[in-house]
A and B are shown apart, each in its own frame.
Chain A
Amino acid sequence: MDAEGGRMLGVARRMLRRSDLAEDAVQDSFVLIWRKAHQFDATRGQAKAWLYTILRNRCLTLLRSADRETALDPSQRETASEEAMLDIAYNRLERANDLRVCLETLEPEKRMAILSSYILGYSHGEIAGRMGAPLGTVKAWVRRGLLVLRECLG
């Protein structure tokens, strides 16, 4: 199960792009998990999903917090490597995975917008900046993409 901690670190690093912050996020998440464990309801959710939700929320808070400064500014990050990260993630989804099957049906820009938000923690505005598209368009991509996914995933 060391893998789970390592995986959590990997998720955090993908979002935060800095190993020190990723470690902080994992540490904070464990504190939150410890504190909130009494609220975890096994009948309502899977432990793993709960764990990753806490971690991702913590990463998002770090990403969106005002003091992140330039270290986390998306404009400072390398676009190419981010696209590569999304590709890697997408390709690692097993071919038979329902999410993969459904993502495949999306137009590339909608797929990219959705993956950028979940995997890289991008906001609508950051996706727009990265993809060079108007904010309204990006919001529409996401919404339509999500609609297709929901219908596809049932």
Chain B
Amino acid sequence: MTDQSERSLRERLDEVVLGLACEAEVAQIEALCARDPSIARQLERSRLRFLALDETADVEAVPAGLWARISSALDAVDDGASPRTDAQDSPADQSAQILPLRPKPSVRHWRLGALGGLAASLLLAIALGWSLLGTPQPTVVAVLLDSDGQPVALVEGAPDNTTLITMLEAARVPQDRVMQVWTKPDDLGVPVSLGLLAAARSRSLSVSGLPRPRADQLYEITFEPLGGSPTNLPTGPILAKGFAKAPIR
């Protein structure tokens, strides 16, 4: 590492991006990035220059079992258990040093940053959502967070207001209550019911007569009496809520 002071920073960043830097060097660069946002931006620029090469890879058929394995691995993470069951391989944490990050993020982090949860879930939605659910591409996607900032449900709204709700964790529905899904097609208007979720399970809801969903539209789930809210407006406690995003095509 003696000659590194003489090497240009940009060259070092490029070598990290190519994958040629050793672990110690990667750690140093990560530390520099953490301290200096301008260096982090340079690293990002370098990554973007080479990203086109990733897009030259074949799009392989994803084996049916893989998404299921990923889902259960994510469940294991949420439960605080090991993300992997086959112990022969190194744990996923091993590569944590590559990013400027603490290796043991926990549920606490989710609670600390609702925004982070959103980013996480959006990514998951982007990466997992459509393939897991096998539905046409939605117009909007919203990740509903609870008051701790934990993602609870993924909402995908189709242009005809068919709404697919994927529960990301088992909701504790109080006895003699059901979950009711709401949206606000008009920011200034009242919430409109999209339907009930009797069981804490993922399902698709259909409602007609609503405008096509749009970005920034509010979605929320409340606990309501059996049969749904008597007033046709949310009356119960909010389980989770979130604003829609229009996925990038």
Contact = CB atoms under 8 A, between A and B. Distances in A.
Interface of A: 1-11, 13-14, 19, 22-24, 26-28, 30-40, 42, 44-49, 51-54, 56-58, 60-61, 65, 67, 88-90, 92-93, 97-100, 114-115, 117-119, 121, 123-124, 142-143, 146-147, 149-150, 153
Contact of A38 (B11, B44, B48, B109): B109
Interface residues of B, number: 71
B183 interface: no
B53 A118 contact: yes
Nearest to A114: B18
Interface string B89-128: 1101011101111000100011011011101111110111
B123 A2 contact: no
A98 B17 CA distance: 17
A146 B14 contact: yes
A1 B59 contact: no
Given A27-B66, A49-B48, A150-B10, A34 B124 contact: yes
Contacts of B124: 30, 33-34, 37
A27 B50 contact: no
B126 A4 contact: yes
Nearest to A147: B11
B3 to A, nearest CB: 10
A88 B127 contact: no
A38 B120 contact: yes
B72 to A, nearest CB: 10
A117 B19 contact: yes
Contact of B116 (A37, A88, A98): A37
A98 B53 CA distance: 11
B5 interface: no
Contacts of A7: 54-55, 57-60
Chain B CB count within 10 A is highest, among A30, A89, A99, A119, for A30
Given A6-B60, A10-B57, A56-B19, A30 B128 contact: yes
A60 B19 contact: yes
Contact of B131 (A1, A48, A49, A92): A1
A94 to B, nearest CB: 8
Contacts of A36: 99, 101, 105
Given A48-B51, A92-B56, A118-B50, A5 B131 contact: yes
B52 interface: yes
Nearest to B126: A1
B207 interface: no
